Amino acid sequence: MKTDTLFKRAFNDALLLTSRLRDGDPIPSETMLAAELGVSRTTVRKILATLAEQGVVAGTGRSRFARASAGEALPFPEAETVPTSVQVEKQFMEWMLRGDAKAGALINELDLARQFKVATTVIREFLNSFQRFGLIERRPSGGWVLQGFTHSFALELFEIREMFELRSAREFSSLPETSPLWHELRRLRQEHIDLLSEIETRFQDFSDLDSRFHRLVNTAVPNRFIDGFFDIITLIFHYHYQWNKKDERERNEVAIREHLAYIDALLSRSRSAVASACRRHLASARQTLIRSTSDTGSVA
């Protein structure tokens, strides 16, 4: 259920906020928490009630305060904070990446539903979201076919990505220190370092990390149109170029190092450093895409 997922994700974020408070520190107002967590005040009240039940928060109304001495409350498992649609997207991308899917590959709804452990209607809705872009096509006899798309189509889409991400990166650097996004960014930084140390055997794991990093940057400027569009951007820029297996390990290592420079720029809060690191990484990604489409003719 979408609302339940939203509550659990916001609860975990609220838990991060309260963990930074000392015993007796005041809890931000419901209005401030709603803005910080990106949820309604009704959801904030439910979160505060749950935190109170677990002994993390005490008091009522504007007199709520943290109880650091009460022990640590447990966050919801990460899988429960991610909407089904996002989980299916991730599984679908991994299925394509690991299976070396290319233009002309057949996609069977029932097989994917069984593999992903979801209803066929969920798979159908997901595939329909891509159909309007011409990336996949439904066959008259049933099932789907993965289509190719042109070099110019990919580059036009890339221009949109560049404009939006540069703006998001700049705004990210201005987030308040209390924002849970900083904690997530530091966690992703460590994941990059860990992956880099095992790049010889885990280079294919970069796709998921790449997607999560860019999604995080873009959350700094919520935009319902870009949020929906990101599914398509992910498909093309975070997964397609890896269908070209040439120098895949080397390319992923370079991208990881660029991400680390990008993350360090964000952590420095220098808008000029952020803009420079963002442009440098996106320029590199653009060149990777250009080489990939040149090698394969059409993207897919």
What single letter denotes the amino acid at residue 247?
Answer: D
In the predicted model, what is the mean pLDDT of the chain? 82
The CA-atom distances, in angstroms, between 45 and each of 7, 57, 59, 142 are 11, 12, 13, 47
pLDDT tens digits, 240-256: 555 556 677 888 899 99
Please tell me the pTM assigned to this model.
Answer: 0.60
Over 90: is that where the pLDDT of 233 sits?
no
According to DSSP H, which parts of 173-204 are helical?
A: 180-197, 199-202
CATH tag for 2-79 (out of 1.10.10.10, 1.10.510.10, 2.40.50.140, 1.10.3210.10): 1.10.10.10
pLDDT tens digits, 75-85: 888 777 777 87
pLDDT tens digits, 63-111: 898 887 656 678 888 777 777 877 887 788 777 666 556 778 888 889 9
Over 50: is that where the pLDDT of 300 sits?
no
Assign 182 a pLDDT band (cuts: 50, 70, 90).
very high
**Rounded to the nearest 10 degrees, how much is the dihedral formed by the CA atoms of 280, 283, 287, 288?**
70
User: SS3 for 146?
Assistant: strand
Sign of CA dihedral 7, 11, 12, 17: positive
Q: What length is written for the chain?
A: 300
Over 70: is that where the pLDDT of 133 sits?
no
Domain boundary assignment for the chain = 2-79, 83-146, 151-296
CATH code for residues 83-146: 1.10.10.10
For 168-183, b/e burial (b = at least 16 CB within 10 A) is bbbbbbebeeebbbbe
**The pLDDT of residue 159:** 85
Are 83-146 and 151-296 equal in CATH topology? Answer: no
Q: Looking at residues 104-126, what average pLDDT do you find?
A: 88
Number of Cβ atoms within 10 Å of the Cβ of 254: 14
Q: Supply 246's token pair.
A: 């040439």
Pairing of strands 144-146, 106-107: antiparallel
Hey, what CATH class is 151-296 in? mainly alpha
**The pLDDT of residue 219:** 86
